[in-house]
Structure 1
Amino acid sequence: MQSLAIMALLKIELPEHTVLLCDGGFITWAGDTYTSSDPVFGTLGSVEGMEEGQGNEIPALDLTMLPPGTAGPAELSKPGYQRSRVRLWLAEYDVDAGQVVGTPDLMFDGQIDQTTLRVGQSRQLDMSVVSNAERLFELDIGNTLSPVFHKSVWPGEMGHDNATGLSVPVAWGVESPVRSTRSGGYSGGGGFGGSFGSIAREVALRVNAY
């Protein structure tokens, strides 16, 4: 008689490292070998219950990793980890054969929102994972009329390379920022500068208007 058990499979695709964890032992599925411990991130301490989002909220998943003492803080929490893909499956496996049976159920497919390293008697890495629907809430504030962003969308297109001397960046998809004006010196009398120059110029304009 075949003996079956349930196992969780966690895959985190970081820019420099792919974390493959399971909740005990090791198992191979889809060409990847999942183990109970990662050399950098350690073991999976806990998985908070997944919550469905309502309205303008989105589903989220909170993970707690227990990294080893040899892993440096810079390896565990980097800004570049944000938006890295995270997937969690529940799989049935044959206890005697040590093989996955059928196709695991994908329980969550999202991206890292933020990581927080907590240091006390032991170290814990809290990882907040949000659904890919999070991208629908982004305002694309960083999308500006600059050569760097232009090439990120159209690689090799150099139409913005010669657009130099633009002192005020123009943002796409967001309200334009308020442009501040800087007044120079006033060329009459003793020469006022800064805000005094603005006041003097305003007075001169009103006098000329009369």
Structure 2
Amino acid sequence: MQRVRLSGLLKLELRDGRTIRLCDGGWVPWASEKYIARDPTFGIIGSMEAFEEGVGDEVPAFSLTFLPASTAAAVDLAAPGMQGSRLRLWIAELDDLTGQIIGTPDQQFDGQMDQVRLVTGLRKRELPMTFVPRGERFFNSNEGNSLSPAFHKSVFPGELGEDNATGLSSAVAWGTEAQPGSNGAGSTVYPSAGWSNYANMVRTQLV
């Protein structure tokens, strides 16, 4: 009679190219990869939130806590550039005699890293991490990006208009084809005065 046991598999693909593969005991081979109980750099999982299913008007989050092997590893995982790292979790059936996976593991979660906190104390170093489903990206409105100097230059390379748009009540992106105002006797540009002051200057010249 075949004896079957269950094993959890975790795969965290970090944005810097490294990958963490963990299981809940021993080691498990799957898809030419090896899942182990303790990562030599990033340690083990201290706790994990229970899975829940349901229907609602918001995207559910999932959290777990890493116990990193060193402060350096904790800092690496908590770096801002790691946000968006992909996390996948499976439940696999294992043949108790051979240790091989039976069939295909059942995927429980596919999401991305959202928030990370570093908690330290006396003989304590924990890294609570929150993950959200990848569908969370559909909720990103990116409001304000289009009027930032960095985004403006990504669309219009070399165009420095947004760098000088300071002190404005309502910022407007400057296109490369936009022409400066003219009073009929040549063009005059006041890049640092702000649009309201600039408009007043133009009106004064026209009187």
> Normalised by the size of structure 2, how large is the TM-score?
0.71
For 1:139, give the aligned amino acid: S
Equivalent-residue separation in structure 2 for 1:64 and 1:14 (angstroms)? 16
Other-structure match for 1:190: none
- Quickly say closer, same or farther: Cα 1:146–1:178, change in 2 above 3 A: closer
Within a 5 Å distance, the mapping from 1:10-21 to structure 2 comes to 10-16=10-16, 17-21=18-22
CA RMSD of aligned residues (A): 3.1
Which moved further from structure 2: 2-11 or 119-128?
119-128
Q: Is this contact kept in 2: 1:84–1:112, CA < 8 A?
A: yes
Within a 5 Å distance, the mapping from 1:71-150 to structure 2 comes to 71-120=72-121, 121-141=123-143, 143-144=145-146, 149=151
Within a 5 Å distance, the mapping from 1:21-36 to structure 2 comes to 21-36=22-37
- Quickly say closer, same or farther: Cα 1:108–1:73, change in 2 above 3 A: closer
Equivalent-residue separation in structure 1 for 2:13 and 2:57 (angstroms)? 27
Other-structure match for 1:185: none
Q: How far has the Cα of 1:32 moved from its partner?
A: 1.4
Equivalent-residue separation in structure 1 for 2:32 and 2:159 (angstroms)? 48
Equivalent-residue separation in structure 2 for 1:68 and 1:34 (angstroms)? 17
Q: How many residues align?
A: 171
Q: Say yes or no: does 1:160 pair with 2:162.
A: no
Equivalent-residue separation in structure 2 for 1:151 and 1:91 (angstroms)? 48
For 2:21, give the aligned amino acid: L
Equivalent-residue separation in structure 1 for 2:32 and 2:24 (angstroms)? 18
Deviations 1:109-158 (A, max 9, x none): 11111111111232111110111121122111364267965897xxxxxx
Equivalent-residue separation in structure 2 for 1:114 and 1:122 (angstroms)? 20
5+ residue gaps, structure 1: 153-158, 170-176, 181-197, 206-210
5+ residue gaps, structure 2: 172-196
For 2:22, give the aligned amino acid: L
Q: How far has the Cα of 1:99 moved from its partner?
A: 0.8
Identity of aligned residues (%): 46
Q: Say yes or no: does 1:7 pair with 2:3.
A: no
For 1:129, give the aligned amino acid: F
Q: How far has the Cα of 1:73 moved from its partner?
A: 3.8
Equivalent-residue separation in structure 2 for 1:150 and 1:89 (angstroms)? 42
> Normalised by the size of structure 1, how large is the TM-score?
0.70
- Secondary structure of 1:58's match? coil
